[in-house]
Amino acid sequence: MATITQLSQLDLNGTYSYADYLTWQFDEAVELIRGKIMLMSPAPNVKHQRISRKLSRRIDNFLPKPCELFTAPFDVKLYDSRKSKLADQEVYSVVQPDLCVICDNSKLTEQECNGAPDWIIEILSRGNSKKEMRLKYELYEESHVIEYWLVYPYEEAIYQFVLNPQTEKYQLAAMYAGDEIASPKLFPELKIDLSAIFVE
């Protein structure tokens, strides 16, 4: 495939695979959701970066082996969890979560995660659209990401969604805010003091 060096060379209404994505060498940051190009928000602001750093430090210091924490930019290829690993040209969704925890090392290649992480955390920016949030929620659910946190920096709140293994749908497990202690269902011994995460 020919290398694409300008976003303008692409049809924003077209459908693309991860194999196409690998040929793109332009400055704009994009994700693919069900084959459609999603422009990512501009570079995260200071508040976003501080929250990401504090969460990363707290989680990384706790995680038991073989679990590992990865932070954006890091490609995660997603597809229906009932399918086995797919070739690049068969994958139509690739995202770059702010933070993700992967406990199955067989999903890791030299440059990406091939399949659903166990836990994804997205820190919302002012540029995040409701459409993008809905599409990612549905994609993570379909791909069987076990736990998904949405962090609202300006409201100083976290919504915690956990996949129900029977229904294969997310349930809102908890809403944390202010100075509460957040704890992932996957790692209940991990206690995250939100007053330390959201403080300036």
- What are the residue ranges spanned by the domains of the chain? 44-198
Q: Are strands 99-102 and 68-71 parallel, antiparallel or unpaired?
A: antiparallel
Which pLDDT value is given to residue 17? 93
What class does CATH assign to 44-198?
Answer: alpha beta
Structure confidence at residue 64 as a pLDDT band (50, 70, 90): very high
Structure confidence at residue 69 as a pLDDT band (50, 70, 90): very high
Which pLDDT tens digit goes with each residue over 3-26?
Answer: 888 888 999 899 999 999 999 988
| pTM, to two decimals | 0.92
Residue in 107, 77, 74 with CA at minimum distance from that of residue 89: 77
SS3 sequence of 117-174: CCEEEEECCCCCCHHHHHHHHHHHHHHCCCEEEEEECCCCEEEEEEEECCCCEEEEEE
Looking at every residue in the chain, the average pLDDT score rounds to 91
Q: How far apart are CA 128 and CA 41, in angstroms?
A: 7
Q: How far apart are CA 146 and CA 109, in angstroms?
A: 21
Which pLDDT tens digit goes with each residue over 108-163?
Answer: 999 899 999 999 999 998 766 676 789 999 999 999 999 999 999 999 999 999 99
Contact 143, 78 (CB under 8 A): yes
Contacts of 87 (CB under 8 A, 6+ apart): 19
